[in-house]
Amino acid sequence: MSIYELAIPGTIFNETDLHVVQVNGVWQLAPGQNESDAYTNDPDDPGGPTKWGQSQRQLQIDTGQLWSAAEIQALSVDWVIQRWKPLYWFPIYEAIESQNVASKVFDIGIIAGPARAIMILQAALWASGHTIEIDGSFGPITLEAANSQEPQSLIDTISIRQADYFRGINNPAELHDWLVRAQYLATSGTIKGV
């Protein structure tokens, strides 16, 4: 089994994009996950070929380079995990008291982008009674509000806002998988239709 190191304690991914678990501070490929399951090239997916959750379109935006389907298919999980931390795990996330809340925001950032993830968190905080600007900027006000909430209740509210965001994208082919992903860390039954 391959081992991947990242300093994000306690994060567990059980989504369709990449199945890794962290054990004692070390990332490893989850049992039963293999590389051939990670690549898709759905002609109806506007992101193009995708592997380990990295779409051709997003890689081209992020790197400024053209990526062929063959290059996407050749992506290693090591490369993807090392790419995630600087792109999606912000140092301020270390100050979130609940590892599950931090992991949830991190996971949303992987699929929707970090600014959208923070906006979803802020919308959940607003829905929970905090007067907070929904601007996609994670600063001390967002941090204080996030740390003042009961973690599981906040995760459930984040998950509902995440599902609402996914439903608004209008991609029926991906919606079920996205709703399953929104259910990640939420109380069972929080997301309808999963």
Q: How far is CA 113 from CA 43, 70, 180, in A?
A: 22, 24, 18
Residue 72 has pLDDT above 90, yes or no: yes
Is residue 191 in some structural domain? Answer: no
Q: How many domains does the chain have?
A: 2
Is residue 129 in some structural domain? Answer: yes
Answer yes or no: do 113 and 68 share one domain: no
The CATH number given to whatever domain includes residue 101 is: 1.20.141.10
Answer yes or no: do 19 and 59 share one domain: yes
Domain limits for position 161: 91-182
Answer yes or no: do 126 and 176 share one domain: yes
Last residue of a domain, one of 60, 88, 116: 88
Higher pLDDT, 163 or 28: 163
How does pLDDT run across 23-43, given as a tens digit for each residue?
Answer: 545 555 544 455 655 788 888
Residues 6+ apart with CB under 8 A from 106: 8, 11, 88, 89, 93, 117
Amino acid of residue 105: V
Q: Does the pTM exceed 0.75?
A: no
Higher pLDDT, 163 or 103: 163
Answer yes or no: do 76 and 98 share one domain: no
Answer yes or no: do 100 and 176 share one domain: yes
Answer yes or no: do 103 and 170 share one domain: yes
